Chain A
Amino acid sequence: MATPTIDAPRSGKIDVKYNRRRGGKGNFEMVAWLFMRLSGVVLVVLIFGHLFVNLMVGDGIHAIDFGFVAGKWASPFWQIWDLLMLWLAMLHGTNGVRTIINDYAERNATRMTLKTVLYIATVVIIVLGTLVIFTFDPCPAGAVTDLPSFCTAK
């Protein structure tokens, strides 16, 4: 049987996977860490406020319909509330999944692919959600059928 060559101990050879990549200075990781904590605190308030207003106040869950959402988004207060919730939740979740990918993806290619998919999904959802919050019109001009009852006939 062929004996494999084995380096002498302490030959100074270290598997390259242990060598830290230089560069990448800056505070991104610190800012991301801080953002997770701060956005988490704000999200607790936003989400429970959202749940309380939608499910408990007035008729509670029975009041939720198209008109209820349309009414909420007619007010700039709820527009800002929902916008904040959307952005913070999406960025908080994305950063969480990013750290999980960094922790558990062992190959660089896997890590890159997963993160690309993640970032594309995030951007699409944030852009789409923001667009809906600001351009939502319950009574679009030109529509004839299926208009909610509160729309004045045009």
Chain B
Amino acid sequence: MSPIETAETAPEPASKIELPAHVGGGGEIPTFDVTLRVRRYNPEVSEDFVWEDYELTMYGTDRVLDALHKIKWEHDGSLSFRRSCAHGVCGSDAMRINGRNRLACKTLLKDLDTKKPITVEAIKGLPVEKDLIVDMEPFFQSYREIMPFLINKGHEPTRERLQSAEERARFDDTTKCILCAACTSSCPVFWTDGQYFGPAAIVNAHRFIFDSRDDAGDMRLEILNDKEGVWRCRTTFNCTEACPRGIQVTQAISEVKQAILSRQV
């Protein structure tokens, strides 16, 4: 008996999620039919966007990403989208699903209204390259400008830089960002003015501004005191709703606003 067979025959660890009796009981997962309406764009063929419908039979455990895979692998290989880890950590597959920015890999089909076609389109405000792929460069340009790295003026310590639990908790929320651009591309200010730094850049500035080990908070506040900085935020909370990591984005932006004020007034 090879080791692989042993692993397969060994009992699986018990699931922590309670499933109703009809789901998964006899190893069968309910299936249903969905229509995925994808906004296609191919500059090599046409400058116009076209909505294309795909009829699929999907399982109750499937996510939007699985539906996209099914299209690409079984229906139309020309469909283009980004995904890497497919488990909600890499931040590659942010897209606009039923008019809201979400990660395709974290959105279960059964949670959406499957009676109507599910619309899938590229995130707004960034130039579309093909189908669901946008040019992220403007997004990362803003990200780089806020200097998302530790800047410390003191001598380099021989051990780790110590920090109390309270000091760490101060910026814990904003460390969760995966740079998927769901927030920035949900912001109406960013849609009309691509020069706005956008929520993601401010969140990542917040992560270092409120880090007790970092010495360049003032420089970052000065950068965000720009005409296109935090003062363009209209607190519409689109970013907070869009964030797949549950970061309180609008609150982070407000904290940066207050930090700029308390420093200068």
Task: Answer whether A and B are interacting partners.
Answer: yes
| In-complex Cβ contact of A104 among B137, B141, B192 (8 A) | B192
Q: Is B225 within 8 A of A30, CB to CB?
A: yes
Chain B contact residues (Cβ within 8 angstroms of A): what range?
Answer: 20 to 34
Q: Is A15 within 8 A of B138, CB to CB?
A: yes
B127 interface residue per 8 A CB criterion: yes
| In-complex Cβ contact of B261 among A25, A34, A99, A104 (8 A) | A34
| In-complex Cβ contact of A15 among B127, B129, B227, B228 (8 A) | B127
CB distance from B128 to the nearest CB of A (A): 12
Distance between Cα atoms of A106 and B195 in the complex (Å): 12
Q: Is A103 within 8 A of B188, CB to CB?
A: yes
Chain B residue numbers with a CB within 8 Å of A27 are 225, 264
A3 interface residue per 8 A CB criterion: yes
Q: What is the interface of chain A mostly: helix, strand, loop, or mixed?
A: loop
Chain B residue numbers with a CB within 8 Å of A62 are none
Given A17-B194, A18-B138, A18-B141: A24 touches B234 (CB 8 Å cut-off) = no
| In-complex Cβ contact of A9 among B129, B188, B234 (8 A) | B129
Identity of the chain B residue whose Cβ is nearest the Cβ of A106 in the assembled complex = B192
Encode contact with B along A80-92: 1 for CB under 8 Å, 0 otherwise.
0000000000000
B189 interface residue per 8 A CB criterion: yes
Chain B residue numbers with a CB within 8 Å of A25 are 226
Chain A residue numbers with a CB within 8 Å of B264 are 27, 30
Given A6-B43, A33-B257: A14 touches B225 (CB 8 Å cut-off) = no
CB distance from B101 to the nearest CB of A (A): 19
Identity of the chain A residue whose Cβ is nearest the Cβ of B227 in the assembled complex = A24
Distance between Cα atoms of A21 and B195 in the complex (Å): 8
Q: Is A30 within 8 A of B261, CB to CB?
A: yes
Interface residues of A in 48-77 (CB under 8 A from B): none
Q: What are the 4 closest A-B residue pairs judged by CB atoms, nearest first?
A: A18-B138, A29-B231, A18-B194, A24-B227
